[in-house]
Amino acid sequence: MSDKKSMDPNELRPELVESIERHKLLQDEARPEAVAKRRKRGQRMIRENVADLLDPDDSIEYGGLAFAAQRRRVPIEELIKRTPADGMVAEIGSVNGDLFDRSRTRCLVLGYDFTVLAGTQGWFNHRKKDRMLELAYKWRIPTVLFAEGGGGRPGDVDTMDVMVAGLDLKSFSHYAMLSGLVPIVGIVSGYCFAGNAALVGCSDVIIATKSSNLGMAGPAMIEGGGLGVFKPQEVGPMSIQSPNGVVDILVEDDTEAVQVAKQYLSYFQGDLPEWECADQSLLRQCIPERRRRGYDVRKAIDIVADTGSILELRRGFGPGIITSLIRIEGKPFGLVANNCLHLGGAIDANGADKMARFVQLCDAFDIPMIILIDTPGFMVGPEAEKTAQVRHFCRIFNNACNVTIPIFSVVLRKGYGLGAMAMAGGSFHNSAFIVSWPTGEFGGMGLEGAVRLGFKKELDAIDDPEKREARFEELVAMHYEHGKAINMAAALEIDDVIDPAQTRTWIMRGLRSMPEPEKRSGKKRPNIDCW
């Protein structure tokens, strides 16, 4: 005879009640004290960040019922309450599902919970990461890591019978193996040290709040190594980690960090059907009439790109090169530009590293590139050579010459020597097209230097300083006339001289001329260089 009560679908059996109550303990409402501490620090709870990143009602959490492996020294009831999810929130959902087809928006999120044992890496949250990262690799899911935390956790004593050092765990290798396969984004808010930093450092891009600290060792490890006693705020502040190139994008707070992560991922998710742009005739006035006068190339980038579509990477590092993700007519592009306000646009070691890595990033995911050239070449002199620039500068050649994405080069003003060749992909004819604005000027080296070297004897023979200077300017003008853009085009060294207002038109027509990228089953590149 059937039990009518047991057939009632609204009845919650004891085992279901137990599960529901355990899941309630994962929510922030169950931990008001932890929430209050985060608010005092101006930070959000990790679940708030994850919920803000993923589309509503379109995610599932893995491994939420885990807790710290410390049952030998802490009662289970206390561990369940104090160490929910073992300090690691792991979800799969969608990002930007309102903009793109859902098949392109799947995303894996791993989030360390700093309110659980300082965001340290416990036994079970390592196992959880391994499980999730294996799925990310198998299913090719872009991955976002909220990396706040203090590294390894020595207090997980439950593993002592089966583990000594744990150096065979796969979390770091699993995360690194995603490089070049799917976009991987690291977000730092607060303190991020040791193992947490080792993970985030493998990311394609690191987004960090301005108040964060990021380092390969935290205060405890530094002190343990006999290297002194430091406060966490003294280790790897953003005043160091942004100018030195570790952090790609600085933001004010958690909210902006999530917004920027969404924007970054969007460039790898597809085209936008709707877009706006500035009046392109404004490009005609970007370059000063005086050929040696500086200007802000970012203003030209703002005009060329779709309105609101620019995301600049590593702005604080290598300021002579600008690297940005942009859109034109809704299509994603990588854009590199020389910044003449730094060293006159000359390429130094840091700028070369910055460009070389950005080329790898774009090539790995078939994002075509736009290069805006205005450079007198690479840096010269004994001080420049102390930076190992022979190797650093040539990274541009080795990377740009071996990509399969189209490169569209536009010379804004100066296109001199090896620096200009490197910018254009190793040779002016390596670009899908290379055109110049009418203000373009070209030569094997800077005009002034070429005159000083090539006409040294003639100039030295002129005793009168004023006459010598007049002759010098006359020779420079002669070289300028010979190397101006229209003569370069006539000699077929560049493809055309264009109205600056037609820059977007050239880029889009050039893109439509390109064959579709080949379909592939695996990575295009083994990985994207961390540096």
Token pair for 138: 């198998």
Reply yes or no on whether the pLDDT at 40 is more than 60: yes
Same domain, 297 and 369: yes
Q: How far apart are CA 281 and CA 103, in angstroms?
A: 39
Give the residue from 313, 370, 382 showing the smallest Cα distance to 504: 370
Tokens 């779709």 sit at which residue?
306
Least confidently predicted of 219-223, 338-342, 506-510: 219-223
pLDDT digits (tens, 9 = 90+) for 344-392: 999 999 999 999 999 999 999 999 999 999 999 999 889 999 999 999 9
Look at residue 252 in the predicted model and tell me its pLDDT. Answer: 97
Percent of the chain with pLDDT over 90: 79
Q: What is the pTM of this model?
A: 0.93
Q: How far apart are CA 479 and CA 453, in angstroms?
A: 13
Q: How far apart are CA 315 and CA 298, in angstroms?
A: 11
Q: Where does the pLDDT of residue 1 fall: very low under 50, low under 70, confident under 90, or very high at 90 and above?
A: very low
The domain tally of the chain equals 3
**185-211 mean pLDDT:** 97
Q: Are 335 and 374 in contact (CB under 8 A)?
A: no
Look at residue 6 in the predicted model and tell me its pLDDT. Answer: 59
Look at residue 172 in the predicted model and tell me its pLDDT. Answer: 92
**26-36 mean pLDDT:** 94
pLDDT digits (tens, 9 = 90+) for 495-514: 999 999 999 999 999 999 99
CATH of the domain at 84: 3.90.226.10
Same domain, 137 and 226: yes
Look at residue 3 in the predicted model and tell me its pLDDT. Answer: 54
Across all residues in the chain, what is the average pLDDT?
93
Same domain, 171 and 299: no
**276-282 mean pLDDT:** 98
Give me the domain span that covers residue 467.
446-483
Residue type, 272: L
Same domain, 64 and 132: yes
How distant, in Å, are the alpha carbons of 345, 373, 499 from that of 437? 17, 10, 6
Token pair for 515: 């064959």
Give the residue from 216, 140, 225 showing the smallest Cα distance to 180: 140
Look at residue 421 in the predicted model and tell me its pLDDT. Answer: 95
Quick one: CA torsion of 151, 154, 156, 162, rounded to 10 degrees? 110
Reply yes or no on whether the pLDDT at 205 is more than 90: yes
Q: How far apart are CA 264 and CA 258, in angstroms?
A: 10
Same domain, 248 and 374: no
Same domain, 225 and 258: yes
Query: 415: which strand partners?
Result: 375, 442
Last residue of a domain, one of 237, 266, 295: 266
Quick one: CA torsion of 217, 223, 229, 231, rounded to 10 degrees? 30
Tell me the three state secondary structure of residue 404. coil
Quick one: CA torsion of 252, 255, 258, 259, rounded to 10 degrees? -90
Same domain, 149 and 17: yes
Reply yes or no on whether the pLDDT at 218 is more than 80: yes
Reply yes or no on whether the pLDDT at 66 is more than 60: yes
Reply yes or no on whether the pLDDT at 191 is more than 50: yes
Reply yes or no on whether the pLDDT at 257 is more than 70: yes
Residues near 461 by Cβ (< 8 Å), separated by ≥ 6?
A: none
Reply yes or no on whether the pLDDT at 203 is more than 60: yes
Last residue of a domain, one of 242, 266, 290: 266
Same domain, 177 and 223: yes
**285-295 mean pLDDT:** 92
Look at residue 5 in the predicted model and tell me its pLDDT. Answer: 55
Look at residue 2 in the predicted model and tell me its pLDDT. Answer: 52
Same domain, 166 and 262: yes
In a domain, 6, yes or no: no
**69-97 mean pLDDT:** 94
Look at residue 356 in the predicted model and tell me its pLDDT. Answer: 97
Residue type, 373: I
Tokens 């094997």 sit at which residue?
444
pLDDT digits (tens, 9 = 90+) for 414-468: 999 999 999 999 999 999 999 999 999 998 777 777 777 788 888 888 888 888 8
More confident residue, 464 or 148: 148
**157-177 mean pLDDT:** 85
Q: How far apart are CA 513 and CA 173, in angstroms?
A: 40
Q: How many CB atoms lie within 10 A of CB 52?
A: 16
In a domain, 525, yes or no: no
Q: How many CB atoms lie within 10 A of CB 410?
A: 26
Reply yes or no on whether the pLDDT at 156 is more than 90: no
Residues near 234 by Cβ (< 8 Å), separated by ≥ 6?
A: none
Q: How far apart are CA 104 and CA 455, in angstroms?
A: 60
Look at residue 516 in the predicted model and tell me its pLDDT. Answer: 84
Give the residue from 416, 346, 355 showing the smallest Cα distance to 381: 346
Same domain, 433 and 470: no
In a domain, 338, yes or no: yes
Same domain, 430 and 465: no
Residues near 131 by Cβ (< 8 Å), separated by ≥ 6?
A: 62, 63, 90
In a domain, 79, yes or no: yes
Look at residue 146 in the predicted model and tell me its pLDDT. Answer: 98
Tokens 């929430």 sit at which residue?
35
**25-49 mean pLDDT:** 94
More confident residue, 460 or 119: 119
Last residue of a domain, one of 201, 235, 266: 266
Look at residue 10 in the predicted model and tell me its pLDDT. Answer: 84
Residues near 181 by Cβ (< 8 Å), separated by ≥ 6?
A: 137, 140, 522, 523
